[in-house]
A and B are shown apart, each in its own frame.
Chain A
Amino acid sequence: MSCALLLLLMSLALAIRTGAAVEIQRPRGVPLSKRQFYEENKPFTCLDGSSTIPFDRVNDDYCDCRDGSDEPGTAACPNGSFHCTNAGFRPTFIPSSRINDGICDCCDTTDEYNSGATCQNTCREMGRKERESLQIMAEITKEGFMLKQQLIHEAKRGQEDKQGKLTELQGSKKGLEEKVEALRTVKETAEDPEKEAKELHLKAWEEQKELIRMEKDKTRMAEAFLELDDDADGYVSVAELQSHLELDPDSDGSLTETETQGLLGGADKVDTSAFETVWSGIKDKYLSEVSQGQSDPPAPVETPQEEETRDFVSDHDSDHYPEDYAGEEEDVEDDEEDDDHEEEEEEEEKVPPTVQTPEKREDDEVSMPPYDTETQSLIDAAQKARDDFDEAERALRQVDDQMKNLEKEIGFDFGPSAEFAYLYSQCYELSTSEYIYRLCPFNRVSQKPKFGGSETNLGLWGQWAGPEDNLYSVMKYDHGQGCWQGPNRSTTVKLTCGKETVVTSTSEPSRCEYLMEFTTPAVCQEPASLDEVLHGHTEL
């Protein structure tokens, strides 16, 4: 190829705006704004001032200026740029390395003047398309911006409502707190006499039980005496007692005569009254001849306990199985609260001395007599006071929760004019071929397989993450479910202006890093006048 072809080529920039053709001569690739630096037949000074060259070295396909300014129309300089006028569309600069590379970059084809590439001038078509889409965008922006004003208005009202509600709740909270305190006093006042009466009742019952026990012992002693007194002579003799090996003091398996005598207090035999002393020495070991042989050891007490433990563990485990980790976190909090309540209730229930099953086994089946009416009425009164107190406390907690939620909502950064407030506690879904994606703004993003399978948490609300000058254009959700050998899932939500609030697309550009496109009127900017939009882009 002859480089003479590439010598200075002046371009004819044909620009049409109002139907009038204007011809302006300047070296190829130079924008109008810089035309004055390229004066024909005068030495050219590089735009960075680094050197001055004869004008015939401008666009001579050899790079003389360090800043590339001598070759605006060739690919000679590594850092040059070429201006396409693109009449009918939008003028643009392209890197000069794209000049004559066989690829049509400028819609007016001016970048491919010597490469053999066959380019079509598409500027008019592109301009038309752009104008159309700009028009559509402008309409959307306009409508969206109107909707946004409405949203701002609603948000303001909503905010006021919430503030009002909060104030109201603060008032009722105060009342409730007082009520709780008052009822606490009532409860405590009612509980003192209740406690006293119950203790009295219990004491009487204990005494009565002791009496019953002693009587029973006497009966057993009498029965034992009769049982031992084999010859019914009114005496228990050494021989008669010796058959009870269980009484062997040194547990060597034989009950000697001496040992037996020792048990009988040194006597050879004892009568009923002397047996009283002997009985107190042997009653713990003595086995009735009637019940002997049937005395299997009692079933081990551990079994039910073990079961309880196992139940507890498995409950605990099942808490950790749900797939949705973050959901679980929330649940855990709730569970803990619930557990607290239950424990309190249990403790309260334990206060009356209801006889527990294991104790029943030891004691004989004699239950405590009912409270007398006086005590019962004290108990009833106290119970009522407790119920009242609990109810008041619950009401207070409810108010607290409501206030917390309200404060949280009020504290959220819903944008400069709270225009994003309407998204709060809403969810938006997008269904793809495989999954249903769900965006709950300011809360979480999730993904659920369409054909069964559990939901995956793709991130919890993190923060606004747009660039400094447009912070509210991007939302970041992070700390989602962990990825195998990877990071926790996270989602970036890009917000664009639209009339409707809708998730338009999702993708996973990088493993476990999701990207969601979301349109909302809340990001619509005040539209420039349509005229400006359309004509600000066409030079000349």
Chain B
Amino acid sequence: MAAFVVSPLKMGPLLVLWLAVCLSGTWAVDRGNFKTCDQSAFCKRQRALKPGQSPYRALLETLELTNTKLTLQLINDNNKVRLLLELYRLQGNMTRVKINELKPLKPRFEVPDVLINDPPTEPLSLLSRDENGVVLSLGADSQRLIVSAKPFRLDIMEGREVLLSLNSRGLLAFEHLRIRKDTKVDPEGTENKEETEAANEPAEGEEVWGEKAKEDEKVEDGMWEETFKSHTDSKPNGPSSISLDFSLPGVENVYGIPEHADSLKLKATDGGDPYRLFNLDVFQYEVFNPMALYGAIPVMLSHSAQRTMGIFWLNAAETWVDISSNTAGKTVFGQMLDYVQGSSETPQTDVRWISESGIIDVFIMLGPTPADVFSQYASLTGTQAFPPLSALAYHQCRWNYNDQEDVAAVDQGFDDHDIPYDFIWLDIEHTDGKRYFTWDHHKFPQPKDMLQGLLDKRRKMVTIVDPHIKVDSSYKIHNEIRSKGFYVKSKDGGDYEGWCWPGNSGYPDFTNPEMRAWWASMFAYDQYEGSMENMYTWNDMNEPSVFNGPEVTMHKDALHGNWENRDLHNLYGLYVQRATAEGLIERSGGVERPFVLARAFFAGSQRYGAVWTGDNAAEWDHLKISIPMCLSLGLVGVSFCGADVGGFFKSPSTELLVRWYQTGAYQPFFRAHAHLDTPRREPWLFGPENTALIREAVRQRYALLPYWYQLFYHAHHSGQPVMRPLWVEYPQDTATFSMDDQFLLGRDLLVHPVTEEGARGVTAYLPGKGEVWFDVHTFQKHNGAQNLYIPVTISSIPVFQRGGSIIPRKARVRRSSSCMEHDPYTLFVALSPKRFAQGELYIDDGHTFNFDKQKQFIHRRFSFANNALSSRNLAPGSQFTTFSWVEKIVILGASKPSKATLKTPDGKESLLEFEFDASMSVLTLRKPGVNAGLDWTVVLQ
């Protein structure tokens, strides 16, 4: 949760003052607390550069080509500073472009720990070379990389088509590191003088710092110091920002670069602020704007009917992304005019990335399909952590469940109202004075008894552990971190301190591997008092949130070892979640899969757990925005995403709450959460009718858990997102390109949430010419490639199963997912118009790494073709036994057979009874009874 406190009396006077200043009691974000591009000196400087002739020139004579890479120097003709360009052709159809200063004054930050390995390369071969540039082959598909010398630019082509160009608008700008020249701080003036003298000698090819073209020496405001509100950012390294432009001919749609509360399809930013990537604790954020939020993933996808590509800008500093499009500004009329006159220029999207420090390190993922881009990105940063099955079930959270009795009462409430749930959560108030890893001993005197009580019902708990540590000499965690020197340091070298929930707090330096190892060890059962194996962890506030810091976060000149927070700010949250997840793995001796939820994230965070969209509000717009927010995250690797069901701030109307449960039941991370100041909203507090509606929504989730689990297995295995925009599966259907009011789960379920108050119907788009979709509630069949008006009641939201798919469900919903472990499956076979269908089933123990380490899992393929449904093994090398069996097979779009025969590998045949509903063409096969791990075939005659 964000800064929002009710009893300031318990806090220090400074914090009270801060609260009084910052929380003026309005319900909208206070934009004044956060920088615009104009208020961020480097963004302002960079954005002031206009497209035009680039001052950069490639020095072709410096070209070196090895087996793995091409290197080439670039020179800025204005100031003679040289850059080093490195080009790599990476396995899997990717190109990596690295640009750094040839001889930086001191090393510039290169992001560590995000790539899962050194990306394997493939040889580049030189096709041709002259004084204007070189042409390189990128291997297959007649793909070429053209390096133009003057001005420097890169073009990637396939055949005659330009796929993507770099610096085509001349916006490459690299602020080289320099020595401060103004009189105030220059104790080494003499040295400078020498350098200047030395530079007077014509030293060809040798860079000498201090001798730069005069215009470059100009000291602008904000280069060496910058003040925002009351905070001054000392900039000991001076200006260091970088920028590069990308042109995407033929592209009208770009996506990604979360986290923003904005539409799925990114908007042109001309005339407004660029999209900002800077992890911030934004109090009461607004929807539909490009402001930075809690997390940042600098990955953009481009898509057209022809091709999908991706740009991964590996930089963890504050980053701004400008997007412009030659069609975005045009009215429909203007576009028609172009068409009629035949004079239309090719649509094109131009993108420009600006970061405050570090180097240019960009991965161009050339697709060409969406699935290819997902695999390419996964090969760089890894895939979604495979969560314990129970983490995909329902989570009940609130700030705060007050005490053990409260927890027991809520737990009992779920049983009394026959609503399943798996996790109950404890927010910050459970601790002893916001000292994480401790308990308030009045409210939670026997945490193990409480956890055992949950365990007895096969349920679990999450406690919060935030990364700000109360400065208190009687607090063990603080003392150890301090004595080990593990805190982030301020620019003056002392431990950096800021205000957060506990009052004055230190911030452990999670970028330090020793610190992370120590932190992880704190989750051991004998270290974290009162913890048990069914207790998992929530890392909130890991941007990090610093109530009295600039923009409510850490000072940029704070130090993580040798590096400034400026260089790695967006990486901090990832490290927090990583260290915690590693702790949970270690405490189980490497056996159990962890579950950790975090609010701040970066590229690669998907490897460590789940994220949520932070402190949203109980408003219909926030329900709407949860769809594009999680879709955007899914596109860039983070599948385990959810929004607080019901909305965090404010109190939802009953209708909104019910609609949110119905939507959340079909989003990956399904957790209800509420602010401390809101009235209680456990599902049974809104009358029996609404209790029944919420129960039904939650049960739909539980019944589909086998499908969810299988989707997450795929996300983990191959990086394919769980929740997908329609265009991912229908890449040529332009009608889907900007759609973000509905989505697909995997390929086979299409969900259209109801996000309008008092809605009596929605218009859903069913994609796929020649395909059919079945309403999962009524089994009614609809044709694809049409807009379909569906009347809705409050009882459910429209969900469709794709004709041609087979989805396994567990129809016996119990009080938690663990209780359903051995239950039988019902297979929903939705036939395509050609009477074909395919699906999968994945089963393992649901919570350990044995699926990976010992190949203990079942992975089966179901196929329906030629009137026969069969199950065959997709993973012959694996082994696992399950008690689950096939209870029922429901075939949608079927015709009535005369008989149905089950054949098992032992040669036995048995007749199955069936029912046929002619009105909906639904055939139900009664009780095949065969074990879900075995081969079998059902033949219809």
B-binding residues in A (CB < 8 A): 1, 3, 60, 62, 75-76, 78, 95, 97-98, 101-103, 115, 433, 483-487, 507-513
Contacts and interface: CB of A to CB of B under 8 A. Distances in A.
A511 B457 contact: no
A3 B929 contact: yes
A97 B888 CA distance: 17
B456 interface: yes
A78 B811 contact: yes
A1 B680 contact: no
B418 A485 contact: no
A3 B932 CA distance: 13
B402 A509 contact: yes
Given A1-B822, A1-B885, A97 B814 contact: yes
Contacts of A508: 402
Contacts of B814: 75, 97-98, 101
Contacts of A510: 678-680
Nearest to B926: A62
A102 B822 CA distance: 10
A95 B812 CA distance: 11
Contacts of A513: 679-680
B402 A97 contact: no
B6 interface: yes
Nearest to B888: A62
Interface in B776-825: 811-815, 818-820, 822-823
18 contacts: A1-B931, A3-B929, A60-B927, A62-B927, A76-B887, A78-B813, A97-B812, A98-B815, A101-B458, A101-B814, A102-B818, A484-B677, A507-B406, A509-B402, A509-B406, A509-B680, A512-B677, A513-B679
A433 B442 contact: yes
Contact of A97 (B442, B813, B926): B813
Given A75-B812, A98-B814, A103 B458 contact: yes
B418 A75 contact: no
Given A97-B815, A101-B819, A484 B6 contact: yes
Contact of B887 (A62, A103, A487, A511): A62
A486 to B, nearest CB: 5
Contact of A483 (B6, B885, B929): B6
Contacts of A509: 402, 406, 680
Contacts of B678: 510-511
B187 interface: no
A512 B102 CA distance: 63
A115 B883 CA distance: 11
Nearest to A432: B442
B32 interface: no
A76 B814 CA distance: 11
Given A487-B679, A507-B402, 12 more contacts: A76-B887, A78-B812, A101-B815, A102-B818, A103-B457, A103-B819, A484-B677, A485-B25, A510-B678, A511-B677, A511-B678, A513-B679
Given A102-B458, A102-B819, A103-B457, A3 B885 contact: yes
A487 B813 CA distance: 38
Contacts of B812: 75-76, 78, 97
Nearest to B27: A485
A433 B811 CA distance: 48
A1 B679 contact: no
A6 to B, nearest CB: 10
Interface residues of B, number: 33
Q: Which of A115, A486, A511, A513 has the most CB of B within 10 A?
A: A511
A97 to B, nearest CB: 5
Given A97-B813, A511-B6, A485 B883 contact: no
A179 B568 CA distance: 90
A150 B234 CA distance: 80
A115 B819 CA distance: 10
Contact of B823 (A75, A95, A98, A484): A75
B700 to A, nearest CB: 12
A78 B418 CA distance: 11
A507 B679 CA distance: 14
Contacts of B70: none
Contacts of B457: 103
Contacts, number: 72
Q: Which of B456, B457, B814, B822 has the most CB of A within 10 A?
A: B814
Contacts of B402: 507-509
B676 interface: yes
Nearest to B887: A62
Contacts of A3: 885, 927, 929
Nearest to A116: B822
A433 B441 CA distance: 12
Contacts of B885: 1, 3
Contacts of B823: 75
Contacts of A486: 6, 677
B456 A103 contact: yes
Contacts of A101: 458, 814-815, 819-820
A507 B407 CA distance: 13
The 9 A-B residue pairs with the shortest CB-CB distance, nearest first, are A101-B819, A1-B883, A510-B680, A486-B677, A62-B927, A511-B677, A97-B814, A510-B679, A101-B814
B769 to A, nearest CB: 37
Contacts of A507: 402, 405-406
A510 B887 CA distance: 44
A103 B414 CA distance: 15
A104 to B, nearest CB: 9
Nearest to B4: A485
Interface string B904-941: 00000000000000000000001101010000000000
Nearest to A487: B679
Contacts of B927: 3, 60, 62
B34 to A, nearest CB: 21
Contacts of A487: 679
Nearest to A103: B457
A483 B677 CA distance: 9
A280 B185 CA distance: 86
A229 to B, nearest CB: 77
A95 B699 CA distance: 14
Contacts of A97: 418, 812-815, 819
Interface in B25-66: 25
A1 B884 CA distance: 7
Interface string B886-905: 01100000000000000000
A46 to B, nearest CB: 15
Contacts of A95: 418
B786 to A, nearest CB: 33
A225 B927 CA distance: 137
Contacts of A483: 6, 677
B838 to A, nearest CB: 26
Nearest to B820: A101
A511 B650 CA distance: 12
Contacts of A102: 458, 818-819
Contacts of B929: 3
A102 B458 CA distance: 8
Given A1-B885, A62-B927, A102-B458, A485 B677 contact: yes
A507 B458 CA distance: 28
Nearest to B931: A1
Contacts of B820: 101
Nearest to B927: A62
A483 B888 CA distance: 55
Interface in B394-413: 402, 405-406
A103 B680 CA distance: 28
Contact of A511 (B676, B811, B815, B819): B676
Contacts of B405: 507
A1 B824 CA distance: 10
A511 B4 CA distance: 13
A95 B417 CA distance: 10
A78 to B, nearest CB: 7
A437 to B, nearest CB: 16
Contacts of A433: 442
Q: Which of A3, A76, A510 has the most CB of B within 10 A?
A: A510
